[in-house]
């Protein structure tokens, strides 16, 4: 019998997904784990209008190296089409869910591994928003949930 070896970064993420903070967010309907195909993790985050936005995380090196994530269409298995990105009133939501940066593959925020690696001045400008391995994936999910539930998030009008 061959036992699969689980890499340490995947074990660390699995442990964080079992932590009370993550489980409470799931129980409250703020987010839900969709799938894990290491190092890719899909997690849906619920907006104020009950719309769910799925994030595709690359968690390689977790938690010492923060993840990078972008909005994802799990049905088409591709980046979420820009016309389905969260609507906004021109504030914080538009600054993070950018369609004009990196082809939409990463969120424009200091917590995101790709964004921080391309903005050398951000650690000094946004120290409270940087990735914290001790908070783990919940840190990322909390800021996304906050954005999708703030006054700048605009509900889609459905006919």
The total number of structural domains in the chain stands at 1
18-74 pLDDT per residue, tens: 999 999 999 999 999 999 999 999 999 999 999 999 999 999 999 999 999 999 999
Distance, in Å, from the CA atom of 113 to the CA atom of 63, rounded to the nearest integer, reads 11
**124 is a domain residue:** yes
Is there a domain that residue 158 lies in?
A: no
pLDDT band at 157 (very low <50, low <70, confident <90, very high): low
pLDDT of residue 156: 79
Q: How far apart are CA 86 and CA 151, in angstroms?
A: 12
Residue 1 lies in a domain: no
The rounded distance, in Å, linking the Cα atoms of 101 and 103 is: 5
Domain presence at residue 2:
no
Show the DSSP H helices in the chain as ranges. Answer: 8-17, 20-27, 92-96, 113-117, 122-125, 137-147
Backbone angles phi, psi at 50, to 5 degrees: 75, 5
The token pair that represents 81 in the structure block = 């089409």
Catalytic annotation present for 150: no
pLDDT at 158 over 60: no
Q: How much of the chain exceeds pLDDT 90, in percent?
A: 94
What's the domain range around 28? Answer: 8-153
- Supply the pLDDT for residue 159: 43
Average pLDDT of the chain is 95
**pTM score above 0.85:** yes
What is the average per-residue pLDDT within 75-83? 97
In the chain, pLDDT over 70 holds for what percent of residues? Answer: 97
Q: How confident is the model at residue 4 (pLDDT cuts 50, 70, 90)?
A: confident
Say which of 59, 111, 150, 158 is annotated catalytic: 111
């Amino acid at each position: 019998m061959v036992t699969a070896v689980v890499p340490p970064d995947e074990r660390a993420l699995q442990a964080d997904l079992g932590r009370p903070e993550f489980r409470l967010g799931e129980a409250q309907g703020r987010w839900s784990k969709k799938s894990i195909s290491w190092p890719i993790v899909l997690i849906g985050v619920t907006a104020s209008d009950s719309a769910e936005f799925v994030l595709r995380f690359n968690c390689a090196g977790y938690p010492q190296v923060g993840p990078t994530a972008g909005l994802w269409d799990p049905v088409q298995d591709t980046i979420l089409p820009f016309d389905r990105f969260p609507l906004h009133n021109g504030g914080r939501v538009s600054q993070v869910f950018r369609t004009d940066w990196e082809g939409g593959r990463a969120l424009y925020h200091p917590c995101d591994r790709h964004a921080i690696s391309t903005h050398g001045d951000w650690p000094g400008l946004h120290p409270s928003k940087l990735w914290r391995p001790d908070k783990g994936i919940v840190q990322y999910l909390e800021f996304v949930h906050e954005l999708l539930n703030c006054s700048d998030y605009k509900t889609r009008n459905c006919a």
